[in-house]
Amino acid sequence: MAIFGKSDKPADLIRRVQNRDYKDHTECAELLQHILLMPGLKARHIAWMLGHPEPMVRECGQTHIRRVGGDDVGDALVREMIGKPSSIAQEIAMTMIQLEPTRVVSRVGPLLHAKGVEQRTAALDIIACYDGFNDFLGHLKAALRDPDATIRLRAVKQLSLKPMDPTVRLLLQNQLDADDLAVRQLAIETLSEHPTPDLTEAFLERLPHESTRMQSRMVAALAKLARDPSARLEERVLPMLGDDSEIVRNAAVKLLREIPNRKQVIRSFIVFSQGVAHWVRDRCRETFLGVGRDVLQTLVELLHEGPSEIKVGAILLASDGKNQQVIPHLLDVLHSDDDWWVRIVAVDELARYPRPEVLDSLIRMVDDGEVRLAVISALAKLGNPKAIGVLVPLLKAPEPSVRKTTIDALQNFPDPLVIDALARVVLEDPAEDLRERALQTLETFGAAAKNVQAAVAEVLARRAAEAAEGDYVELGMVNPSL
């Protein structure tokens, strides 16, 4: 008997539905009814229905197969998944899971290692049907190394559904260096939605290599993290201040601005900078000062509190020879009861500010034993002639170290009073090395000290002659026969 004027043979009925050779849903439904009434029909015979583009055909097939079942239907359903759109393939996979829940997992591996991309895609469609895919993490890790970019991207999409899982996060972070742009950007976007401190270095290192849009995503994610004090992001960001890339350095500054505890940031920077090479430290310092206008105020506070190491770091960071607001605070440290080496650092930095109040304060401190040598050197750096009257008397100090430092300091003052004082050192100082040092200093003054040098040379020659004559007379007394 013909159906709608056409053959009612089973193969023909199936072919008509497969080829969509029907006028409407009513005719399609009647064709399906006749197919399902065929004698000896097994589930595997209608597996093709689940891959049909028409929803009513797929629904009909799903209903019948779930009801009938059969040990041999799984293989047929797997074959039907191949080449189908993911939405349809995943419908088939769900039916498979319901029919053989324990066996489906074992099908993923062979599919994922098949030669055909469509088979490997089907494996990912099966995985996508599981809410929890921890059992498939090994398979997804393998998919991330697939030669086909679409497979790799599908794997990342699947992983992005559980971004807080520690293993998933590690796999996603490994994709930050992926060559494939789509894979890399999806990993960035997923991790940016749920930032954690361990992303800091990886994100900052990627910044120079990403588009402006991706850079904004990564910096925004880390900025959100920076506002959480418990993240202690400054410890991870500070090393980036010395990076070769200006993009990275600017991003690091932006993140440090977001950290609410500015004092803690500066303390951390001071500790960090003490452990890096000087050329890196200088770059870091220059970059760090861009964190905000309130940095100086916080540094000033640190000058008066905390351990000595922090005070020294604050002094070095605050004083640049330009910002004169720091002068009163450096003077406070100089006149304080802080450790001697903290006060010495303050003296060294004050030498960068040729201001009258600095000169006067240093002159008053020249007799302070703890900072005396540093003060002498600082007065030399300032180069103000007013210091000559204070330095010259120190050439007669009992301590050789004071006399030596003063001789070196007076090199900056080619003044007649200095020249005469150094000449006396050459002729009178008990230490031979200091006499020689003073003579060398006179020689640096050139024409200004020419006459004095000549006079000193004459005195030294006469003394040498007298000494030689004295030696001769002494020898004659010991051995008259000579």
Per-residue pLDDT, 102:
82
DSSP 3-state percent helix, strand, coil across the chain (nearest 5): 75, 0, 25
- In CATH terms, the fold of domain 293-382 is Leucine-rich Repeat Variant (1.25.10)
Architecture of the domain spanning 384-457:
Alpha Horseshoe (1.25)
What are the residue ranges in the chain where pLDDT is below 70? 1-8, 70-71, 292-293, 320-321, 470-482
Per-residue pLDDT, 453:
86
Q: Do domains 293-382 and 384-457 have the same CATH topology?
A: yes
Report d(CA 390, CA 376) in Å as an integer.
9
Per-residue pLDDT, 422:
94
Report d(CA 294, CA 337) in Å as an integer.
27
Per-residue pLDDT, 101:
83
Per-residue pLDDT, 321:
58
Report d(CA 146, CA 121) in Å as an integer.
11
* Dihedrals phi, psi of 293, to nearest 5 degrees: -70, -20
Per-residue pLDDT, 293:
66
Measured from the Cβ of residue 332, the count of other Cβ atoms closer than 10 Å reads 14
Per-residue pLDDT, 158:
94
Q: Show me where the domains of the chain are located.
A: 293-382, 384-457
Using DSSP's 3-state secondary structure scheme, residue 6 falls into strand
Per-residue pLDDT, 228:
85
Report d(CA 172, CA 184) in Å as an integer.
9
- 8 Å CB contact between 328 and 319: no
> Going by C-beta distance under 8 Å and a sequence separation of 6 or more, which residues neighbour residue 82?
116, 118, 119, 122
Per-residue pLDDT, 292:
67
pTM recorded for the entire structure: 0.65
- 8 Å CB contact between 349 and 315: yes
pLDDT tens-digit readout, 120-136: 999 999 999 987 778 89
